Homo-oligomer: A and B are copies of this chain.
Amino acid sequence: MPSYKAPLADIRFILEEVLDYPNQIASLAAYKDFDLETAMAILTETAKFCANEMYPLNSPADAEGLKYDAQAKTVTTPKGFKELYKKSCEQGITSLSQPVEYGGQGAPHLLNGIISEIQLSCNLAFAMCSGLSHGAMDALLQHATDDLRKAYLPKLVSGEWSGTMCLTEPQCGTDLGLITTKAIPHEDHYHLEGTKIWITFGEHDLAANIIHLVLARLPDAPAGIKGISLFLVPKFTLDGQRNPIFCGGLEHKMGIHASPTCVMNLEKAKGWLVGQPNKGMQAMFTMMNAARLGVGMQGLGIAEISYQTALGFARERRQSRSLDKAKQDESATADPILVHPDVRRMLLNVKSTNEPMRALAYWTGLQYDLAHVHPDPAARAEASDLVALFTPICKSYFTERGFENASECLQVLGGSGYTRDWAIEQHVRDVRIALIYEGTNHIQALDLVGRKLPIDNGRLYKLFAARMGKFLHKNGDNAEMKEFLEPTAKTLGLLNELTMGLAEKGMADPEEAAAVASNYLNLFALTVLSWMWCLEVKACLGKDTPFHRTKLKTARYFFSNVLPETRTLAALIKAGKAAMMDPEAGEF
C-alpha cells in the first residue's frame, strides 16, 4: 500500500548545491537564524508530521467527504481533521514564515513553500485551509491599516482563525469586472450584500473564526475592475457577534472532497475596507500571486506523491518477462514491471519533470525572499521582476504537467490505479482543479503574454534571458556539460525568436497573442526547466555519488525525451490564430 516519504535528499541538494542557500541566506540579515541545518531540521520534522499524520487521513477523508447542515448552515469536516488542524498549527505550519511581531517565526518564505509541497503531497484538500490563510495574511500585512493588522493577524498567524478569498460570483469568475456584491458605508464600517461562490474553506469547523477577504463595490464606484474594493469580513466580529456571512451550500466536485467549496451569502455582513477604495484588484493580486505559486505547488506535490506510489507499485508488481534475458529473475515466474521499457518511460517522464519543477519552485521561492528582504534595492527589484515573470509559468505549467504526471502514474498501476485502493485516482481527481482555480491556466498565459512581457518594453523577459544566457555563456567551455548546454542554448534561442515574433504580432493584433499564449507559456516553461537541469547538472559534476549519478541520468532523459516537446510547440506558435479564428460561431 502506498506511503509518502518527503524528498529530503533532493530538497537539500537544491538548497545547498543548486541555490547556494547557505551563502544566499547569510546575505539576508532578516533570516540569519535560518541557516541550512536549521532549515533542514525544520523541514525534516515537519515532513515527518505530514507523512505520519496528514497523509493517512487523505484517502479516508476523500471517501467520507463533508457534511453540510442546511439548517445551521455549518460544515463538518471529515473525521480527524479537527485534531490534525490543531496539531498542524502547533507544528507551526501557519506561523512559520509570518512576521515575529504578530507571533510568527519569521522564517524565509522559501521554507514555507517547501513545506507546502510536502503538505500538498500528503493531503491537498486539508492543506488548502492554511494555504488560504496565508493569502489572507499577505493581503492584510501589505494593505490593511495598523488597527486591522493588530486585531486580526495574531490569531491568523497562530491558526486559531483561518482566512479565505471571496472573489467569484455566479456571473463572474475570470471576468471580475462583473462583480456586483455591494458595500454600503455604515458607521465606521460597511454592510456587504451579495453572493460569492466557490469559496474554499468558506465555512468549516477547524478554526474558531473565519476571516473573509471579499471583493465588492462601493456605491458610485466606477464600472468594471476599476470600481472594486477589498473588505475584511469576519465570521465573528471582534465583539463575538455572528456576522451575517453564511454558507448557503457546498459544491459537489470531482475531487478535493474534503475541502469545502462554499456558496457564501452576505446579508448586510459587517466589513472593513482593506487598502484604498476602488483599489481592491491591486490588493487582491497580493493574495493571488502568492496563491498562484501555491497552486503551482499543488501540481508538483501531487506529481511527487503519484510518482512515489507508482514507483512502489512498479517495484513490487510482477508481470511478464524482461525482454533482456540477463535481467530476468529466475527465482520467479515474472519480473517486476520496472524492467519494462514503457514503465520506465512513464516513470521517467514524471521524474525528469518533477525534479526541475521542484528546482524552479524553490528558485522562485528564493527570489520571493530576495525581493522582500535583500539589502540592495536593485537586487530586490530584479528578484521581484523574476517572481512576477515566473508566477504564471509555475502556476500553469506545474498544474498541467502535474495532472499529466499523476495520470501517467495511474497508468503505471494499470487497473489497480483506477481503484480507490491506491489513492492515485484521487490524486488525479484532486489535482484537476489546479488547472482552473486562482485564474485558469489560460489566464496565466494571458498574464504572461499580455501583462508581464510588455512591462517596460520587455524588461522582465530581458532580465531573465540575460540571467540564463550569462549562465550558459559562463559554462560554455565545460565539456562535461556540453550535451546539456547545447540543447538548452538552442531552446533559449528559439524562445527569444518566438518572443520577438509574439511581441510584434501581438502589438498589431491582440488575438494573435491570445491564440498562442498557452503554447508559448509551455515552451517558456520547458526552456526554464532545461536551465534548471543545467544548474543541477553543474552541481553534480565531480561528485561521484549514487545521488549525483542518478541526477545526470535523469537529466539525460529530460533532454532526449521531454525537451523535444518544444518542436511541436514552436510549430503551433508559428501557426498563429488563423485556423482557430476562421470558423464562424455557428461552425463549431
Q: Give the nearest-CB partner of A558 in chain B.
A: B579
Q: Which residues of the other chain, B, contact A554 by a CB distance below 8 angstroms?
A: 583, 587
From B175, B334, B342, contact of A442 by CB (8 A): B342
A351 surroundings in chain B (CB, below 8 A): 588
Among candidates B172, B320, B432, residue contacting A319 with C-beta atoms closer than 8 Å: B172
Say if the beta carbon of A209 comes within 8 Å of chain B.
no
Name the contact of A568 in the complex, choosing from B429, B442, B565 (C-beta under 8 A): B565
Which residues on the B side are within 8 Å of A580 (C-beta)?
A: 341, 344-345, 348, 557, 561
Given contacts A315-B585, A345-B515, A568-B568, contact A415 B198 (CB under 8 A): yes
A234: shortest Cβ distance to chain B, in Å? 25
Interface residues of A in 420-471 (CB under 8 A from B): 420-421, 425, 428-429, 432-433, 435-437, 440-442, 445
A198 → chain B, closest Cβ, in Å?
Answer: 5
Which residues of A, 523-540, contact B by the 8 Å Cβ criterion? none
Q: Which of A3-11, A99-107, A570-578 contacts B (4 or more CB under 8 A)?
A: A570-578
**Chain B: minimal CB distance from A253 (Å):** 5
Is A189's beta carbon under 8 Å from chain B? no
B251, B311, B339, B546: the one contacting A419 at CB < 8 Å is B251
Q: In angstroms, how far is the closest chain B Cβ from the Cβ of A556?
A: 5
Known: A254-B425, A418-B253. A560 touches B588 (CB 8 A): no
Contact assessment for A252 and B572 in the assembled complex, using a CB-CB cutoff below 8 Å? no
In angstroms, Cα B216 to Cα A415, docked, is: 21
Whether A207 sits at the interface, judged by CB under 8 Å, is no
User: In the complex, A428 Cα to B431 Cα: how many Å?
Assistant: 13
Q: Does A511 have its Cβ within 8 Å of any Cβ on chain B?
A: yes
Residues of A within 8 A of B (CB-CB), count: 88
Residues in B whose Cβ lies below 8 Å from that of A333: 178
Docked pose: A347 CA to B344 CA in angstroms? 33
Interface of A is mostly: helix
Query: Of B553, B568, B583, which one neighbours A579 at CB under 8 angstroms?
Result: B553
Shortest Cβ distance from residue A422 to the other chain B in the assembled complex, whole angstroms: 11
Residue A510, interface by CB 8 Å: yes
Contact for A445 among B254, B342, B407, B582, CB less than 8 A: B342
Q: How far is the CB of A453 from chain B (nearest CB, A)?
A: 16
Task: Report the Cα distance A324→B518, complex, angstroms.
Answer: 19
Closest beta carbon of chain B to A61's beta carbon, Å: 15
For chain A, residues 320 to 370, give those with C-beta under 8 angstroms from any C-beta of chain B: 320, 323-324, 333-334, 336, 338-342, 344-345, 347-348, 351
The reply to whether the CB of A475 lies closer than 8 angstroms to some CB of chain B is no
Residues in chain A within 8 A of chain B (CB atoms)? 168, 172-175, 178, 198, 251-255, 311, 314-315, 319-320, 323-324, 333-334, 336, 338-342, 344-345, 347-348, 351, 403, 407, 410-411, 414-415, 417-421, 425, 428-429, 432-433, 435-437, 440-442, 445, 510-511, 514-515, 517-518, 546, 549-550, 553-554, 556-557, 560-561, 564-565, 567-568, 571-572, 575, 577-583, 585-588
- The 7 A-B pairs at the shortest CB distance, nearest first, are namely A564-B571, A254-B425, A341-B515, A567-B567, A557-B579, A323-B510, A550-B587
Q: Can you name 20 A-B pairs with beta carbons within 8 Å? A: A173-B415, A178-B319, A252-B421, A254-B420, A323-B514, A340-B514, A341-B511, A342-B445, A342-B518, A345-B580, A348-B588, A411-B435, A411-B436, A418-B436, A557-B579, A557-B583, A560-B572, A561-B580, A567-B567, A567-B568
Sample of 5 more A-B contacts, CB < 8 Å, known A172-B319, A251-B419, A340-B514: A173-B414, A174-B414, A347-B588, A348-B580, A414-B440
